[in-house]
Amino acid sequence: MMKKIFAVIAFAVITLAASAQSANFDLAKSLDVQNSILKVLSANYVDSVQFNKLINTGITAMLSSLDPYTVYYPEEEEDDVQMMTTGVYGGVGSLIKKRPGGAVLITEPYPDSPAVKAGLQPGDSIIAIDGKSVYEETSQQSSDRMKGQPGSKVVFKVVKGRTGQTEDVTVKRERIHISNIEHYCMLKDNIGYVSITGFTAGMSAELRKAVQELKKQGAERLVIDLRGNGGGLMDEAIKLMSLFVPKGTLVVSSKGRAQGTNVDYRTQAEPIDTNIPVLVMINSGSASASEIVAGAFQDLDRGTIAGTRSFGKGLIQSVRPTSFNGTLKVTTGKYYTPSGRCVQAIDYSHRNEDGSVGAIPDSLTHEFKTAKGRTVKDGGGITPDIVVDGSKYSRPTVSLVYNDVIGDYAIRYFLAHESIAPAEEFSLTDEEWKDFVKFCESKEFDWRSGGDAEIEKLVEATKYDGTYENCKAEIEALKAKLNIGKADAVRLAKDEIKPLLESDIAVKYYFQKAASIQNLRYDKQLFTSIDKWLENK
């Protein structure tokens, strides 16, 4: 009997060794083939070859064949890696916009940033950086030159938006930290509200302060808004949960091939409140760390999840250094919620237009149980306990945003008005709305209705199969009814467009926090979710 056991063990060891040798041989062979190809190109290709560019293109294509999240960052993109993990970079602190051949337009300086301290405002145009014109640069090239080591200085030649005067503006760069706590406030019925935009380093500490402040203001319930939050550091998700569950609670587990990747992650800090009712808002833009949080609240029966199904990203990325100071963000495992389910979409290469997970047959899902015995399923994303659809926008509205027509008008409005009412009160007058409609008539955007666009597809289809002439009169009559002008298209979508426009304008005066304040006024999904939550208390 013992001989048989030893024989089985010996066979397994030999098999594993052979497998490892085969993998090593395949790797060596592949590297040798690549090296020989590069040598042939170097000696024989008809034009000169930029090998750095060629290799980076190859690396990008190679990694994209694995999954969408394994990415290589060369040394010159180190700032992007730092921004991704910490939310910090060295620069002037402003969003910019640049069209080909144009100046760099300041669109949204950050609060207390070097840009604000230097007097830069929305609508100011930078035409040169440190004496070099920006007109022939891409937006990325200009942005890179605006960044730099904290404490260093950069000189902008600026055309001021409100006066038209040209002046040199010296800005001292600083470490720019973009807070993940976009806004927090009190809502109705003693409900505290916190909007979280990401999970970079330090987010949980900011959230702790926000929750403590809301409790001082009388918050007896709490809404954590993770809609549109694409995630970030898993550690911050665990630290967030530590605020609301007992120390030592299992929040998430990871499983992977490499040593040390099969780990159970538990909360390490004492909570601040294990009883306050929590509502977590999610949608198709809530991914990764957001889904860890939503899944943990749901599986532990510690909170209620509302909104629409989350993105479905259950993969873990780790940052690893490479030669020549590069960085590889590599997928090292999958994460699992406390009930044991993985939220990774079954097929992450095929999604809906908004990036969300498509319909999943029940036969491909598995059931799991929460702490109190409720049934939850895997297969892709977190399904809310309270399903409430978000706002849907028409084609003209989406096109106005995509083509930045709303942003252009917001800049124009800012340049024409020294001040506006507080963000909580600001609203466009009827005359101002009419002015916007007139402004849109001179801009390029797709003002067709959804029906009009479908009619065009119908025309193409019937012409292709030869039936167009038989139904031409009917199709053209319907097309004429659906075809409206730009102004009418904007007017019809007023209820969609006006809140977006007011939000964008308010941001120019009161920074990004104003957008959240404005959005709360029109957030039907949030307040419907809260009403249903309160009904079930």
Tell me the domains of the chain and their CATH numbers. 88-177 (2.30.42.10), 181-387 (3.90.226.10)
Which residue numbers are catalytic?
A: 288, 299, 313
Please report, in tens digits, the pLDDT of each residue of the chain (537 residues total). Answer: 555 554 544 545 455 455 556 767 788 888 888 889 889 888 888 888 898 888 889 899 999 888 888 999 888 787 777 777 777 788 999 999 998 999 999 999 999 999 999 999 999 999 999 999 999 999 999 999 999 989 999 999 999 999 999 999 999 999 988 899 989 999 988 999 999 999 998 999 999 999 999 999 999 999 999 999 999 999 999 999 999 999 999 999 999 888 888 999 999 999 999 999 999 999 999 999 999 999 999 999 999 999 999 999 988 888 889 888 889 999 888 999 999 999 887 665 555 665 566 666 666 788 999 999 999 988 889 999 999 999 999 999 999 999 999 999 999 999 999 999 999 999 999 999 999 999 999 999 998 887 877 888 888 888 888 888 888 888 888 878 777 889 999 999 999 999 999 999 999 999 999 999 999 999 999 999 999 999 987
Give the CA count within 13 Å in the CB-facing half-sphere of 262. 4
How far CA 151 is from CA of 80, 154, 198, 315, in Å, comes to 19, 10, 27, 38
pLDDT at site 19: 56
Give the CA count within 13 Å in the CB-facing half-sphere of 330. 14
Q: Tokens in use for 376? A: 């939850």
pLDDT at site 9: 47
Which residues contact residue 417 at a Cβ distance below 8 angstroms, ignoring those fewer than 6 apart? none
Instruction: Please provide the DSSP assignment of 85-154 as one string.
Output: HHSEEEE--EEEEE-TTS-EEEEEEPTT-HHHHTT--TT-EEEEETTEE-TTS-HHHHHHHH---TT-EE
